[in-house]
Each structure stands twice: as C-alpha cells, then as structure tokens.
Amino acid sequence: MSKSAYVTDLKDLQGECTANFVRLMRLLGDMEAGETREYELFGQGRRLGILCLELLERAPYTSIVRVSQRGVLDSLLETPRMRVHLYHDVRMAEVNDFQRQRHFDGRYRYPNARMHQPDEKLQLNRFLGEWLDHGLAHGHAIDIPELP
C-alpha cells in the first residue's frame, strides 16, 4: 500500500491568511512604522504574558509586523516570535519567519532535515490565528484605549 503525498490545501491557507489580516488590522489600528503595541493576556483568571506587536514597515501595499510574547517563562523557554507580512491589496497576512527560520514552503516531504511537518506553513498561520484570537478575546491593551 503506497502512501499518497501531502497536497497543499490552498483554500485553507488563503482563508487562514485572510482571517489573520483582519485580526492583525484590528489589533494594529492606526499604528505607524516603528511603533509597538502591547496587550496583557489573561486566561482562567491568570496573567499569561504580554502579546507584543511591532510594526516594522508600513507601505501602501505591504506591511511587516513582528509578533512576540513576553511572560513568566522567558528565562526558561524561548518565547514565540514571528514576522508577518501583510498584503493590503489582497487583504492577507502570512507568516514569513518563525523563531528565526525563514521562507516556509507550502509543503514538505516527511521526514526532512529540519523535521518540518508536511503542512508546516499552514500550521504556522493557524498558530498565528489562534494567538491573535486569544489576544482579541482575552487581551487588555496597555496604555491605549480598549479594543472595540
């Protein structure tokens, strides 16, 4: 019995990237390049850390945002950090860098040297979506007005 190769589900990937664009635009608001916005995250009554959004570049058709988190485990674990490109003309946001690894392919053969999952790119964008959803649902902006 032969195992079929993983086929990238472009519809799922594009849907996730579109939803992430909406989430990020809501969190970024009217930020300018070089600005940082922080959201204190809570879950089950406990402080979980701080979601940091830094707008690295803003142009008419693209923006680049660094998404990271600070928290109580910073001294023990490497905290999540990613660079996300926002494409304003198509209203999509895509993870282009995660933990200092860049340019993820749409699919990988498995196993591979870096042990990426066959759908690594989709999984990273889903992780970003879950992270941003948590920020929108349970985050409290630090030193800026509350989210609408």
Give the residue with greater pLDDT, 145 vs 114: 114
Amino acid in position 30: D
| pTM above threshold 0.95 | no
DSSP sequence for 87-124: ETTTTEEEEEEETTEE---S---SS-TT---TTHHHHH
* Percent of the chain residues past pLDDT 70, beyond the cut: 72
- Which of 17-21, 49-53, 66-70, 76-80 is predicted most confidently? 17-21
Whether 114 shows a pLDDT value over 70: the answer reads no
Q: What angle do CA 68, 72, 22 make, to 5 degrees?
A: 30
- Domain extents for the chain? 10-141
